[in-house]
C-alpha cells in the first residue's frame, strides 16, 4: 500500500477544532453531552472511529483521570491522561446517562448498541457544517486522529513521544506529522540562524 504523503493528511486547524467543540457544546441536540464527550476523548487520545466503540467504563480511571486506549490495526494500546476539559465532558456524560456497567460499550447509539463508525462520520459531517468548516474533505471522523497528531507535533512533542501517544509500532508512521508544520519550520530556521552566526 502506498505510504501516506503530505497531500493526503487532512486535519483541522486549532481554531477549527475549537469551533467544532463550541458548536457541539452549544448544540440543541439531545445527544450533545454524549457527542462532546466522544469528540473530546477522540481528540485527546487520537482515536480512530472504530476504537471509540471499544471504550468501556472499566477503561476509565476516575481518580487518576486516565483512559486505557485499546488500539486497532496493529497499533499498541496505551493509557492516556485526560486534560481537565475532556475529563469534565466525560464525567458529565457518565453522570447524565447513568453509565454504571463496567463491561459494556461506554458510548452507545439510540438503539443502545456500541456507536458505529457510520454514526460518527454522520456526526462529524453535521458538526463540521455547523462550524462552517468549508473543506468537505475534512468532514470525516478520521480527520480527528490526524488533527491530534499534527497539533501534538506542533506542540514540541518529539517523534518518539508522539509515536507512543498514537500507539504506532513503527516510527515511520509518525514521521509524516512532523513534515513542514509551521512550528517545525520555525525551529529549523532558528537552528540555521544559530549555525550561520557561528560561521
Look up the CATH number of the domain holding residue 61. 1.10.443.10
The arithmetic mean of pLDDT across residues 29-47, rounded, is 97
The C-alpha cell 447513568 sits at: 98
The arithmetic mean of pLDDT across residues 14-19, rounded, is 97
Residue 2 in domain: no
Q: What is the pLDDT of residue 193?
A: 72
The number of beta carbons lying within 10 Å of the beta carbon of residue 175 is: 16
Residue pair 69/47 in contact by the 8 Å Cβ criterion: yes
Residue 3 in domain: no
Residue 1 in domain: no
- Please, what is the Cα angle at 111 between 110 and 114, to 5 degrees? 90
The arithmetic mean of pLDDT across residues 49-65, rounded, is 97
The arithmetic mean of pLDDT across residues 21-30, rounded, is 96
The arithmetic mean of pLDDT across residues 124-150, rounded, is 97
Residue 41 in domain: yes
Number of domains in the chain: 1
Residue 5 in domain: no
Rounded to the nearest angstrom, the gap between the alpha carbon of residue 66 and the centroid of all alpha carbons in its chain is 15
Residue 82 in domain: yes
Q: What is the CA radius of gyration of the chain?
A: 18
Residue pair 86/105 in contact by the 8 Å Cβ criterion: no
pLDDT at 64 over 70: yes
Residue 175 in domain: yes
pLDDT at 71 over 50: yes
Q: Which domain holds residue 149?
A: 11-198
Q: What is the pLDDT of residue 144?
A: 98
Q: What is the pLDDT of residue 154?
A: 87
Question: In degrees rounded to 5, what are phi and psi of residue 68?
Answer: -75, 125
Higher pLDDT, 192 or 103: 103
Residue pLDDT, tens place only, 148-160: 999 999 888 888 9
**C-alpha–C-alpha distance, residues 124 and 128, integer Å:** 6
Residue 4 in domain: no
Across the chain, what does the average pLDDT equal? 90
pLDDT at 199 over 80: no
Amino acid at each position: 500500500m502506498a505510504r501516506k504523503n503530505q497531500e493526503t493528511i487532512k486535519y483541522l486547524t486549532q481554531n477549527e477544532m475549537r469551533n467544532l467543540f463550541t458548536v457541539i457544546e452549544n448544540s440543541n441536540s439531545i445527544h450533545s453531552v454524549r457527542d462532546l464527550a466522544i469528540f473530546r476523548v477522540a481528540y485527546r487520545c487520537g482515536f480512530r472511529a472504530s476504537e471509540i466503540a471499544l471504550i468501556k467504563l472499566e477503561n476509565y480511571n476516575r481518580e487518576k483521570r486516565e483512559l486505557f486506549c485499546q488500539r486497532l490495526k496493529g497499533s499498541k494500546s496505551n493509557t492516556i491522561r485526560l486534560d481537565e476539559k475532556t475529563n469534565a465532558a466525560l464525567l458529565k456524560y457518565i453522570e447524565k446517562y447513568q453509565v454504571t456497567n463496567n463491561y459494556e460499550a461506554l458510548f452507545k447509539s439510540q438503539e443502545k448498541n456500541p456507536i458505529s463508525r457510520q454514526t460518527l462520520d454522520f456526526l462529524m459531517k453535521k458538526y463540521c457544517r455547523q462550524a462552517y468548516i468549508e473543506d468537505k474533505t475534512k468532514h470525516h471522523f478520521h480527520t480527528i486522529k490526524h488533527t491530534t497528531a499534527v497539533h501534538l507535533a506542533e506542540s514540541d512533542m518529539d517523534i518518539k513521544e508522539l509515536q507512543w501517544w498514537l500507539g504506532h509500532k513503527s516510527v515511520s508512521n509518525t514521521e509524516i506529522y512532523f513534515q513542514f508544520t509551521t512550528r517545525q519550520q520555525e525551529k529549523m530556521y532558528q537552528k540555521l540562524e544559530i549555525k550561520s552566526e557561528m560561521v
